[in-house]
Amino acid sequence: MPVDHFPSTHATWIDAQLTIAEHGDRAAGAGDPAGAARASNARDALRRHVMERYAAALTAYVSTPQLRRIGERDDLVSGFFARTMSDPSFFVRWRASGMPLRRWLMNAMSFHCRGVMRDAQREHDRARGHAMHTGDAVGDMEEAAVADGPGPAEAFDRAWALALANEAYALVQAELTDRGRGDDDAAFRMHVVDGMTYGEVARATGRTEAECLNATRRVANALRSAVRALLREEGVPVDALGAAVDEVLAIVEGNDG
């Protein structure tokens, strides 16, 4: 994620992009032609970043039984990115709201789905020559929200947590490789992913049980720190990070179970 003119007074990458865009807009308004380019580049980088991190979660949201009939999931997600996130004020309003980014995006997708249903209902009524009953379409969507199967919010949270944990784990793996500590990662995977006991891991790796236990703890602590850093990047307040990390890991562990 390249950062152009990173403001040192801002702690998070996302906040930095918004600040760069705001400064660029002001510079452009004052006659600096390069300001508009800086603002546009920052907004484009932010949109790409969020699209990459949240595509799976948004797709899971619209793939649930409650929302599947609204339209093709890929069309809904691409339409959301093109129509909703293309608004320059989208992330500015998010930052002003104080809402976690994932909740902001989930709510925005819900509004997008309602808009798609309204448009479809209008087209249906127009084709049939009837008066428009857009409220009926929204009512149908609300009734569908209690249908059997996982709810959209639950599906979104699960996909979001898994994507975030996987991203964090990839960062940890890269760091371990750079430090020549790939054996730690192997011990962690054998114990946590494969469910092997420390004795089994020790026999498989030629290390002592204590070494395997300590290696697993080191990787687990590094993973927790990486998740914390990613959440902080998205604007989660420092005093809420501990609970947010616990939530991510609990969702991931529940999914594994």
Q: In this structure, what token pair is assigned to residue 180? A: 């020549």
215 contacts: CB under 8 Å, gap ≥ 6: 183, 184, 187, 188, 207
Q: What is the model's pTM? A: 0.78
pLDDT score of 12: 77
pLDDT score of 207: 95
pLDDT score of 43: 94
Cα-based torsion angle of the residue sequence 2, 8, 5, 102 in order, rounded to the nearest 10 degrees: 50
Enter the DSSP assignment of 82. I
pLDDT score of 137: 47
pLDDT score of 66: 79
Rg (the chain; Cα; Å): 23
* 21/12 Cα distance (integer angstroms): 14
* 234/219 Cα distance (integer angstroms): 23
Average pLDDT, 10 consecutive residues per value, the chain (257 residues): 38 84 93 92 93 93 86 91 90 88 92 87 69 48 45 92 94 94 94 94 96 96 94 84 92 73
